Structure 1
């Protein structure tokens, strides 16, 4: 039976020309062959690629598949050789299993409830309005990434962490450097180290003089300074890069689907559905890894203990067995339940915050600029490389009628 399973040998692969929103053709083809494929990792290690919705969701909810960093010895595109991967640093809870994972996540859960995030809506609206005011004042054309998509989540996450206003510019620049997928190794290490050092200073400052922010609240817990620094880095990475790329790539997708954009403009009540559909359609967090802790029967195959498993979110969210016409952007779609925020114990902690930011930002943008359009041909929009953890655009030149 195993011989009939499809095999994929390279990941990531380039997206098809003219289809910047679709998963790479090879991955879509793999899903057509079945929801599970053999994958040969660089260096020759045999593993698995899961591309079907049901199986991805199943693995995410299965404690027999681990997120532990020290078990992630195999990278989808890099041959690490025989290097030993250390355990996750204190506070780096995304790369831990329970009970360690739960210990870090539990104190945070009350900070990101639906109710608390709704209370943030007014502040998000003000930040968004300020960005759009500045765009309008400067006049067209504008780069929507730097004028709109990046500053909104950056300001929000900095305020949540209590980063002083005067530090935000250099802070955001360093974060961008180690997350864009194009920084040299030397510059990446320098930016990452600078961010770690800054967060260490920030934690110490919050302990000495608490302010009204999440990080100050956490200093009342039993978490150490090193743990708080690690948690802050996770919140920063998850709360900034993903939402910024969803705002920019989402706007690009809407501009390329004028009927859907018109429907959103005509019916503000469609905003919630529009956000969920854009999350499904774009799946900017493309892939995640797990390692089997024991032999597991999955999709008619035996995943051996120690086998690395790649979970393809973007093909799972385009699975025709789960979604009708999955490659169509349909803001009125009824078959929800996407995996853009993951599933199981590691489901995105900040998903409600991301939803608030996207609902407010998309609604305000399409209302304020009814003639918004690309300022360059679509094929000239610079896309982030597939090597970046989060997919998106480098810049999005837009214009509008004055």
Structure 2
């Protein structure tokens, strides 16, 4: 796993490259990452605040490090790194992602049944129905639409609202607050205010559910009437769990759906796969997850010295994993820059790896497949309504790669 060109934190006199770097094409990694890969699978770079960091680009190295208990996800650590001031403002307000076992394991166990394979199968028909309704509404209102506004956000928000027991009529409010977290025009202070707004919303919702004599079917209802009621979770813990699940449950999937549509419209020779049946569509979604890697930057800090190849990551060192490059590692994927919707590469790390692997991955797959199938089946002549170069790309440090809008026509 070593590489003769790898930079050492102590013996290099070369200026460190910046990390993360901005994508120029929404579905391609930043061009500068290829130069980093030539130096090795684990290299040195510099964060926005000047702090040096290790950047992991190799697939084997990533999977090794992501299951190493010495690599910490504890966001409460004062030495925990961040790719931007905006992301740093978010770290203090969320949980579940930003902690280590055994605490992380205990919280994950309380919520994972709501996102199981069995639960996803139960919900898939409803997700397909909702996606179809949204596309039909686009057609009725057409002949143009915005894929993000009219399909991706509504289907993902509707689904996570059903899972959590959040009233869907409130989706405009929490979508607006979540959008503040990834907008390049928003200051860290405004990010903090958006998080306070989300907290206020979840606090009021938890209070309302607690007053109900009969709990609803949502996960929040269960947490309130069982875990909060018996004292196994505090009110603060229930609220924070609600915030992170609501945020991640709609923003990431909406971005994935929107960016997938853009990618396929730019590569129309692949569209026939979605009309060849659910098995082919499922394979296609898996390849899109690898190819797009919307959750590009994964943050960690070394809690102890870690040797990887001929390198030593020292205790307290920042470690950033570039999932986009890890999923384009030629040692793990043949011809990795080629989009192959029949590749079937399930060993990608689009949902992470190890104990922090995304609990909502089965649900996300169902949502993406349902939305893309409904869209391309019902509107076979779909096309971009603006030149591709006018589509605005989210900043590299936003946490979720993607685009802000996708105007289409037919």
Alignment TM-score, normalising by the size of structure 1 = 0.92
Relative to structure 1, the CA distance from residue 87 to residue 36 in structure 2 (aligned partners, 3 Å threshold; closer, same or farther) is closer
| Correspondences of 1:175-190 after superposition (within 5 Å) | 175-190=178-193
One of 155, 159, 180 as aligned partner of 1:156: 159
SS of the equivalent of 1:93 reads coil
Q: Tell me which moved more, 306-315 or 30-39.
A: 30-39
* 1-structure distance, mates of 2:303, 2:314: 8
The count of corresponding residues between Structure 1 and Structure 2 is: 394
TM-superposed CA distance for 1:190, in Å, is 2.5
TM-superposed CA distance for 1:43, in Å, is 4.7
One of 73, 93, 103 as aligned partner of 2:106: 103
Structure 1: runs of 5+ lacking an equivalent: none
C-alpha contact 1:341 1:351 (8 A) present in aligned 2: yes
Alignment TM-score, normalising by the size of structure 2 = 0.90
Specify the alignment match of 2:350 in structure 1: 340
Specify the alignment match of 2:96 in structure 1: 93
> Residues 117-168 of structure 1: CA distance to partner in whole angstroms, max 9, x if unpaired?
1101121122212211210100111111101111110111122222224322
Structure 2: runs of 5+ lacking an equivalent: 8-13
Do structure 1's residue 35 and structure 2's residue 41 form an aligned pair? yes
C-alpha contact 2:3 2:41 (8 A) present in aligned 1: no
C-alpha contact 2:273 2:284 (8 A) present in aligned 1: no
Relative to structure 1, the CA distance from residue 34 to residue 265 in structure 2 (aligned partners, 3 Å threshold; closer, same or farther) is same
Specify the alignment match of 2:82 in structure 1: 75
> Residues 347-369 of structure 1: CA distance to partner in whole angstroms, max 9, x if unpaired?
10111110111111111111011
SS of the equivalent of 1:120 reads helix
Relative to structure 1, the CA distance from residue 38 to residue 264 in structure 2 (aligned partners, 3 Å threshold; closer, same or farther) is same
TM-superposed CA distance for 1:79, in Å, is 11
Specify the alignment match of 2:19 in structure 1: 11
Specify the alignment match of 2:301 in structure 1: 291
Q: Tell me which moved more, 270-279 or 126-135.
A: 126-135
Q: Tell me which moved more, 1-10 or 185-194.
A: 1-10
C-alpha contact 1:36 1:299 (8 A) present in aligned 2: no
Do structure 1's residue 116 and structure 2's residue 119 form an aligned pair? yes
C-alpha contact 1:68 1:88 (8 A) present in aligned 2: no
TM-superposed CA distance for 1:206, in Å, is 1.6
TM-superposed CA distance for 1:31, in Å, is 1.4
| Correspondences of 1:199-348 after superposition (within 5 Å) | 199-209=202-212, 210-219=215-224, 220-221=226-227, 222-348=232-358
One of 43, 60, 63 as aligned partner of 2:66: 60
Relative to structure 1, the CA distance from residue 264 to residue 166 in structure 2 (aligned partners, 3 Å threshold; closer, same or farther) is closer
* 2-structure distance, mates of 1:100, 1:378: 45
